[in-house]
Structure 1
Amino acid sequence: MSDPTQSFVLFDMDGVVLEGHGTDPAVHEQALDDAIDAADLSVDAETRTLLAGYEYDTEFIRGCDRLGVDPVDFYHRREQHSASHAIDRLDAGHRTLYPDADAIHRLDDEYALGLVSNNYDAVTEFVVDRYDLTAFEYVRGRDPGVGGFYRRKPNPHYLLTGRDALDGSGGVYVGDRTTDVVAATRAGLDAVFVRRDHNQDVSLPITPTAEIASLTELPSVL
């Protein structure tokens, strides 16, 4: 790439910095149980199936309608529980950083660095604090609830917020999913795609600016 106009580098978290493709689905299942218990609801098996998906979709809304609860409010409450359980699992050591995450610190003298994730903001902040990722000047996960759900990548909302926060004229987003490449393109950023074990066979609909197999290769493509 070697573009002198690139002033910042944003990173995805799950699958790029933090090991694993994403949060274990069991986290959301447990969060749903907590939200049901907190609201003192009696939920039959069919209704629970409607509510069980991670997505805020028509099935989730139908499930809430059957229970007579506001779907936006109930989804927000469930997501708050999901964030809490995700943090508990991280604190217990269920996931850790990729070994090559140390390479990030070698870039902070030359670029402004940020971490922008589809994971919850509280979870993203926890990872930064727990692993002392001081190289990141800007850290942002998504807000819990429907608003944050719809602003997830490939929506470029949080990437654009990161760009503005770092006062960047041009930048790069490093991700491991198709949605990362699409969001970067929509935000006017160069996309660097990291090939990990979990995405070796992914075929991208948009060609990224560069592909790497390790974060240690980043300096050679920036």
Structure 2
Amino acid sequence: MQYDAVIFDNDGVLVRLSPLAVLREASRAAFEAVGVTDPAAEHVEQMMLGVTPADVREVSEVYSLDPDAFWAARDGAAADAQISEMRDGRLSCYDDVAALEHIRAPRGIVSTNQQETIDAVLDHHDFSHLFATAYGREPTIESLRRKKPEPHYLERAMADLDAETALFVGDSETDVLAAHRAGIDSAFIRRPHRSDTELDASPTYEIETLYDIHAIDGVPVADAAADGGTEGKR
């Protein structure tokens, strides 16, 4: 079997993870944007990562906020913070992104991050030529129901790429689960921040660098591809 497409998560795969301190300040900024000047620390943390629709409703009720407006403010603040980190040179891409140049299948991005952030990543890191499609979330509560491990955005990317088979490369269990639910193969990249991660869901492959994708059966690679890593392992 040859893969029709190779799709990538962004954070922790293509671009380094944003520091928690940056996301925490973005969460505080979101509260301030809707008039809450002294939010409880636990609510700031609750709005940082892994947010669910129930979280948004719960916190909004505490402060008598409109949930949709509050979530739009939160996603906007998070995008602004990450874009500033990129522009100031503190949020860089991984060197092995160069490996993607040699993959001869259509490529895409599917991220849980905001679409605004993903668009900025494509622009700032000059990635646009590498990807035929790229999905982040819309700044809506509904998008939280569609994010990984749900396959919604992954399936949209596959449709854009006219792909019946695909390999999804990610650095989290939600990436592996999204691939399972979409009926496609997955490659878990064990970046240093995932060195001790234990997965309950089994990826099709485990890799250490993006160059390892070149050794995966079914990934079309240019003959001149650099041998930059170890082989992918089932």
| Equivalent in the alignment of 2:34 | 39
Match for 1:50: what amino acid?
A: H
Q: C-alpha deviations, 1:158-193, integer Å up to 9, x for none?
A: 100000011111111011111111100101111011
| Equivalent in the alignment of 1:121 | 115
| Equivalent in the alignment of 1:49 | 42
Paired residue total: 213
Match for 2:114: what amino acid?
A: Y
Distance 1:192 1:30 in 2: 32
Q: 1:18 to 1:9 in 2, by over 3 A?
A: same
Instruction: Give the conservation status (yes or no) of the 8 Å contact 1:153–1:180.
Output: yes
- SS at the partner of 1:16? coil
Gaps of 5+ in 2: 220-234
| Equivalent in the alignment of 1:80 | 76
Q: 1:137 to 1:25 in 2, by over 3 A?
A: same
Instruction: Give the conservation status (yes or no) of the 8 Å contact 2:4–2:164.
Output: yes
Distance 1:104 1:12 in 2: 13
Q: 1:27 to 1:151 in 2, by over 3 A?
A: farther
Q: 1:127 to 1:59 in 2, by over 3 A?
A: closer
- SS at the partner of 1:206? coil
| Equivalent in the alignment of 2:105 | 111
Residue 19 (str. 1) matches residue 13 (str. 2)? no
| Equivalent in the alignment of 1:206 | 201
Instruction: Give the conservation status (yes or no) of the 8 Å contact 1:10–1:173.
Output: yes
Determine which of 152, 155, 163 is the counterpart of 2:150: 155
Distance 1:90 1:25 in 2: 15
Percent identity of the aligned residues? 30
Instruction: Give the conservation status (yes or no) of the 8 Å contact 1:103–1:215.
Output: yes
Q: C-alpha deviations, 1:69-110, integer Å up to 9, x for none?
A: 122321221111111111111111112111111000111xx2
Question: 48-57 or 206-215, which moves further after superposition?
Answer: 48-57
Distance 1:142 1:199 in 2: 24
Q: Tell me how large the CA RMSD over aligned residues is.
A: 1.9
Match for 1:102: what amino acid?
A: A
Q: C-alpha deviations, 1:130-180, integer Å up to 9, x for none?
A: 111111111111122312222111111110000001111111101111111
Cα deviation, residue 32, structure 1: 3.3
Alignment of 1:139-178 (within 5 A): 139-178=134-173
Distance 2:53 2:202 in 1: 30
Instruction: Give the conservation status (yes or no) of the 8 Å contact 1:171–1:189.
Output: yes
Instruction: Give the conservation status (yes or no) of the 8 Å contact 1:31–1:85.
Output: yes
Match for 2:71: what amino acid?
A: Y
Q: C-alpha deviations, 1:185-215, integer Å up to 9, x for none?
A: 1011110111111112222222211111111
| Equivalent in the alignment of 1:7 | 4
Distance 2:13 2:70 in 1: 31
Gaps of 5+ in 1: none
User: Normalising to structure 2: TM-score of the pair?
Assistant: 0.83
